[in-house]
Chain A
Amino acid sequence: MGVPLSYYIGLAVVLFTIGAIGVATRRNMLVVLMSLEIMMNSVNLVFISFARFRGDVGAHGIVFVVIAVAAAEVAVGLAIAIQIFKHNRSVNVDEADKLKY
């Protein structure tokens, strides 16, 4: 037998936690975006693992959608980051609070 399912899930949980903490704590917007990517890929990993172990290809479709959305999200997110940098001369998320009023 190969690697058991629980290993994959465990890896995914670790990756997700790293990503979540990164999103919540890091000040650099680019790092926050990267942490988001980690969270998303940990989810993809869970999907793929279950697909493999249950012999069901349905989850592959979802993963492809997630990848596509992630690509779009990165494009938009980076564009916003550039605009915020132009405006604030920094990519610190703490300073990007001008839209609240």
Chain B
Amino acid sequence: MISTSHLLYWVLFPPLIGAFFNGVFSRHLSRRVVHWVGVGMPFISLLAVLTAVLRLTGMGHDASVTATLFPWITVGTLHIDFSLFLDPLSSVMTLVITFVGSFIHLYSMGYMEEDPGYARYFSHLNLFLFSMLLLVLGRSLPLLFIGWEGVGLCSYLLIGFWFDDTTKAKAGKKAFIVNRIGDFGFLLAMFLLAFVMKGDLSFPGIKAAVLAPGSYFHAHLGFVTLVTLLLFVGATGKSAQIPLYIWLPDAMAGPTPVSALIHAATMVTAGVYMIARLNFLYILSPTTMAVVAGIGALTALYAATIGIAQNDIKKVLAYSTISQLGYMFLAVGVGAFGAGVFHLMTHAFFKATLFLGAGAVIHAMHGEQNIWEMGGLRKHMPITNFAFLSATLAISGVPLFSGFFSKDDILYQAFTHRIVVNGHQVLPAWLFQLYWALGLIAAIITAFYMFRLYFVAFTGSLRSKTAHPHEVNWSMATTLIVLGTGSIVMGYVGMPIEKLNVFEHFLDPVFEASAPFIHSTGNPTTMWSLMGASVTAAGIGILLAWLMYAGAWRNFPQAFTTKCKHLYSLVFHKYYVDEIYGALVVRPLMWTRDVLHQVVDKGIIDNIFVNGSARFVDLVGRGIRIVANGDVQAYVAAFLLGALALILIIF
């Protein structure tokens, strides 16, 4: 019988072992060994997580498990243990990561079958899983940060997996650099916290310090705002929010299962997890909360509009990921932490399904990603169609599918929540209603572009003359069925009925510190009418998509793009944000680089310091050579004169 705290090691380390094994011995292993290890390890983690979480639920309210491996850093008062921590929030996260992650590994067996980098692929995928688990299991901010950087590194490795293609290698670099910009904010926030916390950066420690009577945090709200906003900068990088979302669409250069694992189900949710984890800190600063929710709502809407005009199946899904992450930030920003994590979980299922479905389609179409080359895939690929359709229904918010429950929960709480400090409502009500309205419009657009994608790719008849679509093999099919079913049923754990909402009750202990700051103005009437609004939004979106891409208004999209050419091209080119960043950020940086290179490096360092010191020594040598002419007797004369001088000085 393994104790529960030791079980955490069984959760965390199998993927690391798998990564090491496949990474080191890659050249000497057969494919069979590679995938037995590469796929087996995540499943061991999954089993361990299931056991650990079952035991945790048996421990009663407010229980948590801590496992300390070793003291990691001890400098003065700064003391950081390498310790893992399982509470309801990390339970949910580890369950999602290992469950979705394991099945994506299984799927990869089929998808990467013919790739020469098979072992390297599984090694990186395992390493990614390890980093993500460390991120959510870490008991302190620095440990979370290792995982945070680890997933960044793995995403770089996996996006640039086919690195002999320069654009793909560049996409990997872009993801890494943009993430680094965010991480800079995260680091600064961590340093600031370390000063105030006197070196204790563990989550329970920070929580205790925040809740303590007369705590520093309550007295210095400006400091809290600064720290939380800096942490949020990190989150915008990792979770692809405005303004640092630009890496995610390019990240589609990686193999499709990677997109499903990293850029949909797990890594990008790190920011949401971090805010949910530090909810007691975020809730103290209404400014930060308003910013987080605002950025979230804007991103949800903004990315959704770009999704309309994309023709690459993976690009559509990429923008929909950004948009759905926006919903999660909207949720945590209005204090609906439980709803945010709930959407994180349902999204992990349906977005992984969508990506894996897209992967199956791309596989079947021999690498073709343009949806206008597809069509009628429903007939050719029934299993993929089942999974893709259920996930599309879920993301669109059609009732009784998982996405409906979570998205509706977010919109409801956005509309009804108020943030209250010392009995005063600190943010105006219209702000919350504005966020709700943005979210609702985004919901219409989401339903529209997702069904546009579905109708174009899966209904009608095949447009490509060269492709011969076929159904996928067993490993991919199993995954699609499991995750597709998940996209339907996962919502039922969090139904909007007080007694049946198991999910948010389970999470309650984590968020109880922030509960006093949140006041809900909701009642059953508002709930049902808002739900009606959400359902109508989804209905409008789907209906429009059906009319334009499968029904009577078939000519409308064509007519629209010719008539409003500029608007179309603005959206099609993603509002030229990449170009604007290029001109405003990248170009000045390049210019600075040139100046530094030519003036500072070549001019000052090379010329003055490096070559200059050599030249100085050379000059001195030339001067001294005149004296050192090899005449021993002159030396002796000088020596004697010197000795004489010394004697005269001494006496």
Contact = CB atoms under 8 A, between A and B. Distances in A.
Interface of A: 20, 23-25, 32, 93-94, 96-100
A5 B628 CA distance: 41
B633 A100 contact: no
Nearest to B625: A100
Nearest to A32: B633
Nearest to A20: B640
B213 interface: no
A29 B633 CA distance: 10
Nearest to A29: B632
A92 to B, nearest CB: 11
B630 interface: yes
A23 B633 CA distance: 7
A98 to B, nearest CB: 7
A32 B636 CA distance: 11
Given A20-B640, A24-B640, A97 B631 contact: yes
A99 B630 contact: yes
Interface residues of B, number: 9
Interface in B399-447: none
B558 interface: no
A97 B633 CA distance: 11
Contact of B630 (A20, A24, A25, A100): A100
B22 to A, nearest CB: 61
Q: B631, B633, B637 — which one has the most chain A CB atoms within 10 A of its CB?
A: B633
A100 B636 contact: no
A50 to B, nearest CB: 18
B629 interface: yes
A66 B617 CA distance: 39
In the A-B complex, list the 7 residue pairs whose CB atoms are closest, starting with the nearest.
Answer: A97-B630, A100-B630, A24-B637, A24-B636, A23-B636, A24-B633, A20-B640
Q: A24, A93, A97, A99 — which one has the most chain B CB atoms within 10 A of its CB?
A: A24
A15 to B, nearest CB: 15
Contact of B629 (A23, A25, A100): A100
Contact of B632 (A20, A25, A96, A98): A96
B633 A93 contact: yes
Nearest to A21: B640
A25 B633 contact: yes
Contacts of A98: 630
A93 B640 contact: no
Interface string B617-651: 00000000000111111001100100000000000
Interface string B42-62: 000000000000000000000
A8 B74 CA distance: 73
Contacts of B633: 23-25, 32, 93-94
A20 B642 CA distance: 13
A97 B636 contact: no
Q: B628, B631, B632, B637 — which one has the most chain A CB atoms within 10 A of its CB?
A: B632
A10 to B, nearest CB: 17
Contacts of B632: 93, 96
Given A23-B636, A94-B631, 12 more contacts: A23-B633, A24-B633, A24-B637, A25-B633, A93-B632, A93-B633, A96-B630, A96-B632, A97-B630, A98-B630, A99-B630, A100-B629
A65 B186 CA distance: 73
Contacts of B631: 93-94, 97
A46 B265 CA distance: 95
Contacts of A93: 631-633
B294 to A, nearest CB: 77
A98 B629 CA distance: 10
17 contacts: A20-B636, A23-B633, A23-B636, A24-B636, A24-B640, A25-B633, A32-B633, A93-B631, A94-B631, A94-B633, A96-B630, A97-B629, A97-B630, A98-B630, A99-B630, A100-B629, A100-B630
A23 B632 CA distance: 9
Nearest to A99: B630
A17 to B, nearest CB: 10
B492 to A, nearest CB: 92
A23 B635 CA distance: 10
B628 A100 contact: yes
A94 B631 CA distance: 6
Contacts of A94: 631, 633
Nearest to B628: A100
Contacts of B629: 97, 100
Nearest to A94: B631
Nearest to A17: B640
A96 B640 CA distance: 21
A20 B640 CA distance: 8
Nearest to B635: A24
A99 B630 CA distance: 7
Contacts of A20: 636, 640
A25 B632 CA distance: 10
Contacts of B637: 24
Nearest to A27: B633
A32 B631 CA distance: 13
A34 B2 CA distance: 92
Nearest to A36: B636
Interface string B311-338: 0000000000000000000000000000
A87 to B, nearest CB: 14
A96 B630 CA distance: 8
B498 to A, nearest CB: 97
A44 to B, nearest CB: 18
B643 to A, nearest CB: 9
A51 B631 CA distance: 38
B625 to A, nearest CB: 8
Contacts of A32: 633
A72 B640 CA distance: 23
B651 to A, nearest CB: 15
A96 B634 CA distance: 13
A98 B636 CA distance: 18
Contacts of A25: 633
Q: B629, B630, B637 — which one has the most chain A CB atoms within 10 A of its CB?
A: B630
Contacts of A99: 630
A4 B640 CA distance: 28
B636 to A, nearest CB: 5
Interface in B9-62: none
Nearest to B640: A20
Nearest to B644: A20
A93 B636 CA distance: 12
A100 B635 CA distance: 13
A42 to B, nearest CB: 14
Contacts of B640: 20, 24
Nearest to B633: A24
Q: B631, B636, B637, B640 — which one has the most chain A CB atoms within 10 A of its CB?
A: B636
